[in-house]
Structure 1
Amino acid sequence: MDGAHGGRTEDARTHEERGWPASSLLGRLGPADRDHLLALGARVPYPADQVLMWEAERTDHVLVLLHGLVKVTGHADDDREALLAVRMRGDLLGELAALDGQPRSATVTTCGPVVTRSVTRADFLACLRDRPQIAHAVNQSVVAKLRAANTHRVNFVGCDAATRLARVLHHLAMTYGERDGDSAVIRWPITQPELATLAGASEPSVQKALRRLRGEGVVTTGYRSIRVDGLARLRSIGYADR
């Protein structure tokens, strides 16, 4: 257990000063509830490319993501790995298995160094019983993830591959990118097969669309990063009809 000062854990003090993303679980909580959650379990760091949870395994602890990004993947019917989502600091990982006792629904892998708090299922469920506001925030978080998945599916109906890729890149840049005016850098490794999965397109189609975006000066691809050089232009490509 981390040491505390004035009722606050070291994790809570350090990260609260920087602020948690408003859409994350920790961003939805008030200071007292956030500190309570951050006092549970143990602080655990992980290196890059480390699997934190395996799809179908029977573990039921949860992880509170304090620093870094992770990718959530699953296996499609043809055994290809499908990128389902990306989670950022402040998010909760593994809550479904903790809530229903079923096997893990996806694999979670670190994108660069990550720091978490690992909380047992028993402590997590007790926290939900004892702290109604945390339970409400967890419910909101689960619903938000479901809505995002539904929106993702609906947004792609009737769109060509280039439009879908533009929408995916714009979402990633706005949600996880380091913003600088009309530019943003996505500083974590995302492969073209993963982009193709997110965009619901074939790899050749994504490669062709990326070449076009690079040629028009909209994006620049580098080692383990993608830079969007024109967010407004990228949005106009992805949402020309809106």
Structure 2
Amino acid sequence: MAEFELLEELSPVEKREFIAACTPRRFRRRDIVCHEGDPGDCVHLILSGRYVVRITTPLGNSATLTILGPGEMFGEQALLSPEARRTATIVAVTDGETLTLNRTQLERLRREHPQVERFLTTSLAAQVRRLSAAVLEALYLPVETRVLRRLAHLADVYGDGDGKPAVIQLTQEDLASMAGTTRATANKVLRELEDRGVVRLGRGSVLVLDRARLPRRRA
């Protein structure tokens, strides 16, 4: 089972109760987990698979924000209010499984195990840190650095943790969207990395040959 950092503050008993209260859900590649604007009825903890996060821009275009993998989660705001709405569309890009927890299940856990409150505060604090880091990155880092960081993040998401080459099944357009730049700029950075033997480019994929030469993930 994937390790969830946000559950580490819970005791072993609380962690078991938390996992037992969740409902497993399975998704096939290209399944839509939720649409932007849908009612936010539960939080998802990712056991397996990869999930792309997309939003609609003010101009009506679709933008890719990030890709999430095992050990990560999405939908935290669903636990705050019955009126919560999904802020992004989530699509499974591989087969996968999540554990879902709704507000009713969380309230029961909080009554029986008050320490579970830490899960909620910790998860929301982590979300604030991610958003703050993303804003600082977009405002102050050179575009080439942003592309490299997104590539490093994707190598972590698609990798198996043993340092072996990671096959990122994602278009250059999606990578550019995640880095807040154009496809041409993302392609220029990728071509330079390919010339240096760090990556190998394929049709709709990037093979990361040497993850150690990419910046460490910070967001």
Same fold (TM over 0.5): yes
The Cα of 1:170 is off from its aligned counterpart by 1.8
Would the aligned equivalents of 2:167 and 2:207 in 1 still touch at CA under 8 Å? yes
Counterpart among 100, 105, 123 of residue 87 in structure 2: 105
Q: Does 1:196 align with 2:179?
A: no
Q: Match of 1:11?
A: none
Q: Which amino acid aligns with 1:20?
A: E
The Cα of 1:133 is off from its aligned counterpart by 2.7
Q: Does 1:215 align with 2:188?
A: no
**Aligned equivalents of 1:90, 1:103: Cα separation in 2:** 23
Q: Match of 1:122?
A: 104
Q: Match of 2:186?
A: 206
Q: In angstroms, what is the RMSD of aligned CA positions? A: 2.7
Q: Match of 2:149?
A: 167
Q: Which has the higher contact order (CA 8 A, sep 6+)?
A: 2
Would the aligned equivalents of 2:34 and 2:89 in 1 still touch at CA under 8 Å? yes
Q: Which moved more, 1:37-46 or 1:202-211?
A: 37-46
Q: Does 1:132 align with 2:102?
A: no
Deviations 1:174-231 (A, max 9, x none): 45523444x54145x3222221121111111112221221122111234664332233
DSSP 3-state at the match of 1:119: strand
**Aligned equivalents of 1:156, 1:149: Cα separation in 2:** 11
The Cα of 1:140 is off from its aligned counterpart by 1.1
Q: Match of 2:211?
A: 231
Q: Match of 1:149?
A: 131
TM-score between both structures, scaled by the size of structure 1: 0.77
Structure 1 stretches of at least 4 aligned residues deviating more than 4 Å after TM superposition: none
Q: Match of 1:10?
A: none
The Cα of 1:59 is off from its aligned counterpart by 4.1
Would the aligned equivalents of 2:68 and 2:157 in 1 still touch at CA under 8 Å? no
**Aligned equivalents of 1:65, 1:163: Cα separation in 2:** 28
Q: Does 1:78 align with 2:59?
A: yes
DSSP 3-state at the match of 1:118: strand
How many residue pairs get matched?
217
The Cα of 1:36 is off from its aligned counterpart by 0.9
The Cα of 1:54 is off from its aligned counterpart by 1.1
**Aligned equivalents of 1:92, 1:151: Cα separation in 2:** 17
**1:32–1:180 distance in 2 versus 1, CA, 3 Å:** same
Deviations 1:105-144 (A, max 9, x none): 1111112111123333211232234323322123212211
The Cα of 1:62 is off from its aligned counterpart by 2.7
**Aligned equivalents of 1:179, 1:61: Cα separation in 2:** 29
Q: Does 1:177 align with 2:132?
A: no
Unmatched 5+ stretches in structure 1? 1-14
